[in-house]
Structures are given as C-alpha cells and as structure tokens.
Structure 1
C-alpha cells in the first residue's frame, strides 16, 4: 500500500497542495480557492492528485499518513472583524490598558494612508470599553498577594459582560505571570456562571511581561477561538467524509505544526500560518543548494510576502503584526503588501496605481472570464506576452486576452493617453518597484546587503516577476525552485510538530558587572528552562509524539537595563554553565551592534533577561523529498513576441520536457512549467540544476 504525505495552503486566490509519496516524489496541484467553502478548494486539488495516480479520492486519502495544512481563517477574521465578542476582565484601575495602548498612529498602515496626516489616528481598541470589567484584586511583581480576589466582584463583572453582549471571556490581571492563582479562580467562577463558556487566561496562554501586549494578545486569541474551531471542525469533517483517516495538523506562525485541538487553544498563533510555510521551504531547499542567506519572496494572487533566512535559520520576530495590531507572539518574520497577480490597477488624479485592492478568486482578473472587468497585474502579464493563455493552471483555465486588453484600455490606457501595451508595462513596472521596495525594507533597513543573499522567487506569479525586481535589488542569484507554485504548501509539508512555551521572569545584572553568571545563576536558568520544556513535552506526547524523539531549543529575550529594545539570544547547549552565560551576553552585544551600529552597546549599564522561551519539536514522519522532475532535454524551443523595454521582442520559449540538468538558458527567455511561468530577462542567463530549480544570474 502506498503512503502519502500531504500539505495544503489556502490562499486568497488559489489553493495549493503537495502530495509526497513514499519514494519522496513531489506532486504539485493548484485550484481556485472557494471563499465560502475553503475545504472544497483543497478537495479539488486532491481529486487532481487522485486522477493523476488513477485511484479514487477516498483511496488516496486512506493512504495518507500525514496531512498538514496552512490556513488564513484567523488572519481574515481579524482583518475583516468577523470574530466573537470578547468580555475582558482586568485588575481594578487598569481597565483602560487597551484604550491607552502602545504604538504609533502609523502602525499597520500602508504608505498612502500614512501620508494622510489629517485622518491619521490610532486604531480602535481591540475590546470596546463597555466590554471591559474591572475586579478587585492585586498581585505584585514578586507574585505576592497584596489584595485578595473579591469573588462577588467577579460574579458581578461576568453578569455585566454577558448583558453587554460578551460571547467569550478573556482574563488579564496585573502580574499574573508571576502568580496565576487569581486568574485560575476567575476561570472557575466564569464556568459556574456561564457553563461551557470559552475562557482564555493570559497566565496560561501568554505568561510574559508587558501588560498591554499580553492583554491585547489574550483578548485577540479569545475572539478567534470559536471561529477557528468551527472552521477546523468543518475542514476535518469534510476530509474525514472524503476518506482521510489521520487527524490533520496545522501550521503555526512560529514555523511548526500542531494538532487542531492544540491550535484551537492558541488560535492567535496561526495568523501567519500560510506565508510562514514558504520561508520554511526556502530554508530547506536553500540548505540543499548551499544557500545560507536567502531572501524569500512570495508573489501570489493577493499579496507579496518577504522573509529572510540568515545563516541557515529563518529570521524570527518577537511579535506578529496583523492588521494594525502587534501581537506578543513569536513568529517567522514575514512582511507583506497588497501586490499580487490579482492586484487591481487604477488611475487616480492622473497617476497610475497598482493595489492593494485585489480581484481575489471571484471574480478574479478580467482575463479569467469569470465576470471581472477591472485590470490586474495578471491581465498586464498576459497582454505583454509573458503568459501563455493556453498554459494557465495546466491548461484547465484558458485566459482571455481580449478581455484583458479591454480592461486595461478602459481603465488605464485611455485615462493616461497610453497604448494598451504601454499601460500594461506601466502596471508591471509599478508592481515590480513596490515589491523591490519591500525587499529593501526587510534587508537594507535592517542592516543587510541584498547582494549577500540569494533571492528565492515563488508563488504563482513570483517566477514571472522576479527577473525584474531581483535584478533591481542586485541579488547575485535568483532561484526559482521547482516547487515555486506550491512552495508554501511544500514548506508546510517539510515542517515538524512544534510547541512553544515561554515565561517572563526578569533577571538583571548590576551596572558594571563583569561576572555575569554571578547575577544570572546557571542553576536558576536551567531550572526555569526545564520547567518550560517539561510542560511543552507533555503537550507533544499528548498529541502522539514519541517522547524519545523530542528536541528542545532554548532562548531568552534580553535587553540592556532601562532600554526597550529586546533581542532574542539562543542557548546552543542543553545544560547551561557559567561560560554559557558569559557567551550569551557576548552574543547579545554582537547582535545588538549588528542591528543598531558598532559601539551602540552599553554593557556597563547591565543587562536584563525578560523572558525565557523553549521550542520543542518532534519530527513528523516524512519521506526523503525528491523534487526533481526534469525531462529528456529533447525538442526545439519555441518563440513568442513579448513587449519588453518599450517594444516588441522575440523571447525563446521552453517547455518542461526540454529542461535537463546543467542546461543553460540565455535571456530573453520564458520557461513554461505546468503550474507557473519563469521569465529570464534580456540581460540575464539561467541554469537548471539537478533538482529542476532554475537559477537566474545577471550577466
């Protein structure tokens, strides 16, 4: 009986799936996303996989050993305001925490919105003040009870919140991470007053310092839990009814998989579920190709996402930005803008703009022939000749060139006085420039030189546009992996079962300290890490992981005393010694000066550990991946006219069966893969490696 490893990623426009068989061979499948029934899009891709293998869908699913999934449910719920109403309980005197907030008026806004100074205001609080109740209690920074919990006050608060419309409850008390007794008792009282109510405790979900961030993240998590559970239950039920026997796993923002039950408890940890997969895949394939530093660029139908792999590791962020809220959850650092193949072009005040609005999956770009009438990037690519109208989605969707030309003519060409081709090239130029700018923000503005990175281009549209924005950035190599069109799904399939546990436990060194281990005792550090690791291991074992295969990674969040810039420093050893503590401080200074400039560190002022974190992983069974899918190299390439650089030019066109290991391609050229299109620019050459990846270099 064959065994399959399956991973899917539901995007705003397309749903991607990879099916890896026991021999490691990777099958790639795409279908249109069905917004009202996301599981339908996944089943459509699985039916393609079953058809290719000549078996019924239920037979294919019965042979699936691992099914991993990336979802945008939590992300969309936050951005669209479709989540449960939260009743928030806080310490008396601190009910305005979310209203005061911490941040800037520009947080989470696009360039155009930031420039509108007259209307620039902070976002509304995540929980309206009428849904925030204060209760009498107080615990100090050391975890000592200063004022006992008034249980009658709690019952009054719960009744008031229910009357105000609260559907779920969040509890975030002052210093609860130092002593969680009051929060746990409040949860018991809520259950007594509202049996079966969903309650999220900050001391359980996010026991870390930072009152505003902890409260915000706890409230957001509470609001997302019911919708995520409903969606995951529906998804699980649809797959089970279709024949799946193994319980699906879900990708988390931090880069690992978790069971549906665990993810429902930590719903806010899934808001970057899909984009993170592409970074994980790039790290995996980058290691195979010898690329230690990679800038990842994912251009799909709706957005353009950028991340970094530095020295073989995905760059992590201590926070997750979603919409205008910054959640205190670690995640693989991914920045995004509304620049995808479905981004709509418009003329405002005589100026051509592209995005952030997207045509989405329905109706989609005009060329899809599904009722869309507004011009998009995909329409421009088709008019310019880069896209073959007969080769979209493997030929399952024939693109309509005339509808694309008509949309561009009406909405862009005539308002600007340009020809249709000039307008189309203008659309492409603008979106490429916007994408290059985002890559600069992630690299140059963080102190990195793009010339030190290989650029991985993926997503349905990334391989077509990377020749342009990659060349502008000066990256020495642009790598289009063979998995490009389903790269995020492939990364999800390469991930392991993961659990993160953290705890804020501030520890400081006095000013002028040279013996750091005296102020930060190794035994105390080890004991804190051990307690967190034991709790995380228990969660993984409960999820079915083998105890002897679990790996533990330890790190701390550390800053200079009296400063706000917190950086993450890992410990590379299982048992921490005095020498390891000194090495941690040295590494912190190195990272700090790399970020803020040589000489910026002030070690004489002392350092402070704020938070301890452990990441435990258990390898998910998977085959040795073989992404290679090269042809025999026979046959003559074709030629197609492409509008490039202001005029029509001949481009050499290659089909997948003509590619072979070591093959060199001189630009201007187009490679039409079954599921994506790769363009090599006129001043570039490319080489095909043994895995089928195409590496583009400037001449």
Structure 2
C-alpha cells in the first residue's frame, strides 16, 4: 500500500504517508493564503523521512486523500460569489425569516438565552437577489401550477441585473417531485449556456439534500453555491500542483459523511468539517481492532477540540440539524461537537464575571501563541503549558518552532496576572484548569445527552495537544482509562487514509411502522422498498462513475426513527435492505426498542405513541484496505531511567514537582511509566499527571490508567 493522506487544520497541516511497510507522520504550519503550500511542505517533510523526494512519492502512490478547510475559510472570510435564489412565488421570505428564531443558530448557549439581544448574521443572499417564479407542487408531488417559462426568464434576468454570479433553485416540495427545478435549470442553461463566458453555476436544492424543510434545504443549497467557486479554484490549483509533481491519479476528498470521493463527485457542502470526521472514522476502526466497544473520541488541535462517540450498539450518530457557521442545513453529516479549546485558544480575564475564560477565539497559526514569536500578544493554552514546564522550548514540533518562554510569561502577566493579582504560575494553572474544565463539561454533555455514562467509556485522545490534556479532563469526568492512538498527532490524517469510498443518499418521508391508534403494523412495504431501491441506485451510479468495480459495491440501510411525535430521534442500522414480511417489521421494532432502551433507560420506550420512520438513508460504499493498527501484545515492564528531569507545576499541587522526561525513541512496547512524567515525541508530548500510569503500546500508542 502506498498513499498520502493530508488533513489541513486551523493551525497545522498534518500529513500521513504510507509507503509499503513504512508509516510516516509530518506536520507544517497551515498556510491560509495558499493551502497547497502547507500541503506540499508537510509532504516534503514526510518524503524526506523516507529518503525519497516528493516527485518520487507522488508518481508511485496509489492515492492522495485530502481533508480540506477551504470551505470553512470561505465562510469565515465571506469571500463567496453573489448568490441569487429562485424560489416558488410567495415563499421569497423563507430565507430572510430564518424560521423566526433562526438567527440564534450558531450562537453560544449564553447568547441563545437572550435572543432579543442577539445579532442577526449578515445574510449570504440579500432580499434583492431572491426572486419568486410562478409554479407549485403540492405535498404529494403533484404539479398544481405548471412552470411559466417566460416568467422564469424574466426572474433570471432580474437576478443577473442584481449581480448574481451563481443560482440556487429551491422550489417548494422539490424533494418529492424535482421536475420543476430541473425545468428551471434547463431554462437558465438556455439563457446562459455552459460553453459561454457568461455561464452561471446552478445548484438545485433537491440534488444537495433529500430532506423536507424548505429553509434548511434552501440554505444547504445556498452554502453549496457560495463555496463552489472558491472550492473549485482552490482544489484545481492543488490538483495542478500534484500533477506538476508527477501524480496522475484522481485526488480523493474526505466527506463529512465519513466517506470520500473523487473531486468530480464531491459537492462543496460535503467538505465542511471533513478533517475531524476523518478522525472519528479512524476511531471506529480502532474500536474494532483494540476491542474497545465504547470510546469517546477527543481531538485537540491548535484551534479546536472535537468530540465524537463510538458505541457498542454500532449506532452512527448523525447531526439531524447541523448548523454551519450561522445557518441551519439539512445535509447528512456525521455528528461531532466542536469546542473552541485548542492549543491556540486565547485566555482572557472576564471582568463582568471576575473569571478567567479560554476560547473560543484562537491565535491560529498566524500570528499564533505569544511564545511562537510571530507577533501574537495574547496568552494561549500553549503559553500556559510552556510556563508550567510541560513543553520543551527548543524541541517543539520536532524543533521546527523555537518557543520563547519570556514572551509567554509576558503575555500571561499582562493579560491575566495584572487584572487578577495571581502569580505567574497560579495564572498558568488557572488557564489549564479552565481549558480542561471546558473540555470535560462538553464531553459530559455530549455523552449524557445521548443516554450514556462517561465513566463507562474509554477516552481516545489525539491531535497535537490531546495527550497533554487527557489526564486533566479525565480527572474531572472520573474516567479511568485514556487511550492515545498510534500516530496521535496526525490521527485525523491517518483516518482519511482509512476511509471507504462512500456516498450517502437519503429521503424524508412519514412512514408509520406501528400505528398505535389502529394497533396495526406496516403491511404495505412498497414505499419502503421502492425508496431503498432508488437511493441504492443513486449511490451505485456515483461509485460506478468513479471507476469502482461493480462487484465490490456494498450498501447498508439506516433509518431515523422515533416514537410518535417525540423529539428524541435515533438512527437505526436496518438488519435488512428490504421489508418482505411482518416478521421483518417485528424485528425492526424490537431493534429500535432495544437501542432506545440502551440510550435512555429501560422503560423509557413509548410504543403507545406509535413508531415511525422519518428518514430512509442508504449508504453505498466500496471497502478499502486499512492500515495495521493492532494493539500491543508485549508484557508490561518498567521503563529505563528518564533522559532528564524537569520542574513542572500541576493544578491542585503547591510548588514545583520534579517530573521525569523521556524521549520517545528510548522507549519500547510494554514499558510502564509512573506519573508524573512527560514523554516527548517529534510531534507531540504525552503527559502522565500525578496519580496516573502510562504504558507504551505499538507504533506510538499508549494507555493511561488512573492509579488513585
């Protein structure tokens, strides 16, 4: 196996190179002005470790897999084109109204508690670029008012006069019957053919998402259109750079659905948050190989802290109502919770609450934390870690970044010590306590809200900053075991290399599996089976278009089910792809009841409200070869003497603590180290706090166990 996997984060660009039996990790600072520069720099570092040049690697690898932040950056910078919306006449206010309370989407909980004082986001599409066309399709898909072609042409020209550079067509009930959206597309293409310089990109809402809900569906299409141009040009430039260096195969992009596809089969919306999702997919694989059924995936990078769950019941968690930036969308997206708690998160003193806060603002990679010496003036989590003694100023990021202890001290003294009266060390401890507390609270909420107890889970800690803070949030949560995976600092990039080629298609419907009023089970299976057949055909066509072998295409059916009109909706992996008998229906009901009970407690089931399916989802995929990440088999034994000692400070302990410091290269599989101890690798640092024991595993993995 030979492949390159790259994950571009807000601070670092991570590269994972597999070249035959050699696994190599490398990191570079993210170059936001041109992501290809950071990409190629990280790849050059990885290639050099294999004694190869970039051209040799790219000309001989099987695939380049890429998780990008291009779309996220475009939204942050508001650098997309002028988008125009064509909707059903009478529904022009759907986007401006934002479901009345939609302007609270994307705000913090504190801000959402005071919606009257909340600011509406600046709309991506002003009302002057929203036009209604004469047409109507009813809820059942019947056309009750046909398209008026002359009216459509007038509205299209009006939007062009308003400066529209991309069209979104979002007609009412288009997911039930898309004929009118397709007709509008035909008319636009007739006016502005694709072979002409005046051609305008067109996004049809039913192609972006198959769910009902006019506002969320329209915003899904708007964001897709808004990101299209920058994604196209950015990725095209990267592809040109790869071609220039000898890569001739299709580039594969990671999707936020836990799969990947070629560039020509990827929509812009599917790339949002794709990096963290790759890490969660690697967690799924690790759960099986390490025989750990319940894992909390925690990814702490330079900018954010991402949380995901892998459970023994095999449930895939999807965000039913994902919010991207400030807008609700309805595309299928693997669920992750993101917190502004990374190594670059800025610490500040909140005078109103007389408390130290950390994040969500981040120093990123430019200028970065104060200790980077790149112009950053505000204290960050990394600055606090340096002051507390956890980081080696001369050997950070493999020695590529020299840290300035004095700059870190000055930033903390000016912004934390002066307003609080705390000493430098106490201020740094307070920053660490706060960021660890923020992470622990977010983890508890995410796990408990889904009906699980965090104490029954193993925490998986990865990302550049994860192993440094794992003991901190595990102490707060009462978690006894923390697993640091192989290649933890680039684990999301590794996950991108372990993903299957995959497409998800879904369809909203209202299908009663058990009607409590009539006490009848579903006995007409045609709607269910026809829907599955149609969605599976779409997924199969997607994979065949990318050259997949038909014999290797697999699929699974997932259902979003709920009791009656309850808000608690859960995903169920169907044990069969077609319903053929009442026995199948009973098995499906039993499975749903069992999963619901595990999630919310036995007795919480409510069959008296009826059981219904809201969404049918078909996942079509091709299995790809996976990396070997087997757990350790070595017998535990004490580690040799540490390479050196360092004075470190820990929250809850007065004074400095003499801490053993080990070079990772000196350790072997099975070595056991008692905390407090630091293990320094070229790309990250493992911290075993007092009261914890660390055991080294295979290929850089480690297990932390609480001993007190």
TM-score, normalized by the shorter chain, greater than 0.5: yes
* 1:621-652 CA-partner distances (Å, limit 9, x unpaired): 55545798999966644211101223201111
Partner of 1:77: 74
The answer to whether the aligner puts 1:547 opposite 2:550 as a matched pair is yes
| Structure 1: distance between partners of 2:120 and 2:33 | 32
Pick which of 230-239 and 683-692 moved more: 683-692
1:111–1:526 CA distance, 2 compared to 1 (3 A):
closer
1:247–1:634 CA distance, 2 compared to 1 (3 A):
farther
| TM-score, reference length from structure 1 | 0.94
* 1:37-84 CA-partner distances (Å, limit 9, x unpaired): 111111111111221122221111111111111011112222332222
What displacement does 1:314 show? 4.7
What displacement does 1:511 show? 3.7
* 1:79-115 CA-partner distances (Å, limit 9, x unpaired): 3322222211111111111223335554321245346
The answer to whether the aligner puts 1:32 opposite 2:22 as a matched pair is no
Check whether the contact 2:7–2:492 (CA below 8 A) recurs between aligned residues: yes
Report 1:78-157 matches (<5 A).
Answer: 78-102=75-99, 103=101, 106-114=104-112, 119-123=117-121, 125-157=123-155
1:106–1:505 CA distance, 2 compared to 1 (3 A):
closer
| Structure 2: distance between partners of 1:629 and 1:674 | 25
What displacement does 1:514 show? 4.3
| Secondary structure of 1:381's aligned partner | helix
Partner of 2:185: 187
Partner of 2:196: none
1:167 to 165, 169, 188: 165
What displacement does 1:620 show? 3.2
* 1:102-135 CA-partner distances (Å, limit 9, x unpaired): 3555432124534656522554555322211111
Partner of 2:610: 606
1:629–1:119 CA distance, 2 compared to 1 (3 A):
farther
| Structure 1: distance between partners of 2:640 and 2:426 | 36
Check whether the contact 2:298–2:308 (CA below 8 A) recurs between aligned residues: yes
| Structure 2: distance between partners of 1:632 and 1:607 | 56
Report 1:358-397 matches (<5 A).
Answer: 358-397=362-401
1:226–1:48 CA distance, 2 compared to 1 (3 A):
same
Partner of 2:694: 686
The answer to whether the aligner puts 1:665 opposite 2:673 as a matched pair is yes
1:223–1:531 CA distance, 2 compared to 1 (3 A):
same
1:609–1:623 CA distance, 2 compared to 1 (3 A):
closer
1:207 to 195, 210, 222: 210
Aligned length in residues: 692
Partner of 1:582: 586
What displacement does 1:22 show? 2.0
Check whether the contact 2:575–2:588 (CA below 8 A) recurs between aligned residues: no
Pick which of 207-216 and 457-466 moved more: 207-216
| Structure 1: distance between partners of 2:611 and 2:212 | 16
1:498–1:647 CA distance, 2 compared to 1 (3 A):
same
1:45–1:633 CA distance, 2 compared to 1 (3 A):
farther
1:217–1:594 CA distance, 2 compared to 1 (3 A):
farther
1:411–1:262 CA distance, 2 compared to 1 (3 A):
same
Partner of 1:444: 448
| Structure 2: distance between partners of 1:188 and 1:626 | 53
| Structure 2: distance between partners of 1:632 and 1:156 | 79
Pick which of 98-107 and 387-396 moved more: 98-107
| Secondary structure of 1:232's aligned partner | helix
In the alignment, structure 2 segments of 5+ residues that lack a partner are 194-198
Partner of 1:353: 357
The answer to whether the aligner puts 1:516 opposite 2:521 as a matched pair is yes
1:115–1:208 CA distance, 2 compared to 1 (3 A):
closer
1:81–1:581 CA distance, 2 compared to 1 (3 A):
farther
Partner of 2:647: 641
1:373–1:10 CA distance, 2 compared to 1 (3 A):
same
What displacement does 1:239 show? 1.7
1:589–1:692 CA distance, 2 compared to 1 (3 A):
same
Check whether the contact 1:512–1:603 (CA below 8 A) recurs between aligned residues: no
| Secondary structure of 2:80's aligned partner | coil
| Secondary structure of 1:647's aligned partner | coil
| Secondary structure of 2:682's aligned partner | coil
The answer to whether the aligner puts 1:292 opposite 2:289 as a matched pair is no
| Structure 2: distance between partners of 1:199 and 1:236 | 23
The Cα RMSD (Å) is: 2.3
| Structure 1: distance between partners of 2:109 and 2:507 | 36
1:541–1:633 CA distance, 2 compared to 1 (3 A):
farther
The answer to whether the aligner puts 1:335 opposite 2:317 as a matched pair is no
* 1:174-213 CA-partner distances (Å, limit 9, x unpaired): 1112221111110011112223321111222223222222
Check whether the contact 1:301–1:461 (CA below 8 A) recurs between aligned residues: yes
| Structure 2: distance between partners of 1:482 and 1:647 | 34
1:635–1:229 CA distance, 2 compared to 1 (3 A):
same
| Structure 1: distance between partners of 2:591 and 2:510 | 19
Check whether the contact 1:513–1:606 (CA below 8 A) recurs between aligned residues: no
| Structure 2: distance between partners of 1:560 and 1:121 | 36
1:13–1:40 CA distance, 2 compared to 1 (3 A):
same
Partner of 1:267: 268
1:632–1:423 CA distance, 2 compared to 1 (3 A):
closer
| Structure 2: distance between partners of 1:628 and 1:447 | 32
* 1:218-248 CA-partner distances (Å, limit 9, x unpaired): 2221221111111111111112212222221
| Structure 2: distance between partners of 1:565 and 1:643 | 44
| Structure 1: distance between partners of 2:122 and 2:406 | 45
Report 1:177-256 matches (<5 A).
Answer: 177-195=175-193, 196-256=199-259
The answer to whether the aligner puts 1:52 opposite 2:49 as a matched pair is yes
| Structure 2: distance between partners of 1:402 and 1:480 | 31
What displacement does 1:663 show? 1.7
| Structure 2: distance between partners of 1:408 and 1:15 | 27
1:635–1:669 CA distance, 2 compared to 1 (3 A):
closer
Check whether the contact 2:102–2:327 (CA below 8 A) recurs between aligned residues: no
| Structure 1: distance between partners of 2:360 and 2:107 | 11
What displacement does 1:576 show? 2.8
| TM-score, reference length from structure 2 | 0.93
Pick which of 385-394 and 108-117 moved more: 108-117
| Structure 2: distance between partners of 1:163 and 1:564 | 44
* 1:392-427 CA-partner distances (Å, limit 9, x unpaired): 111122211111112212222222212211111111
Check whether the contact 2:67–2:274 (CA below 8 A) recurs between aligned residues: yes
In the alignment, structure 1 segments of 5+ residues that lack a partner are none
Partner of 1:344: 346
Pick which of 117-126 and 357-366 moved more: 117-126
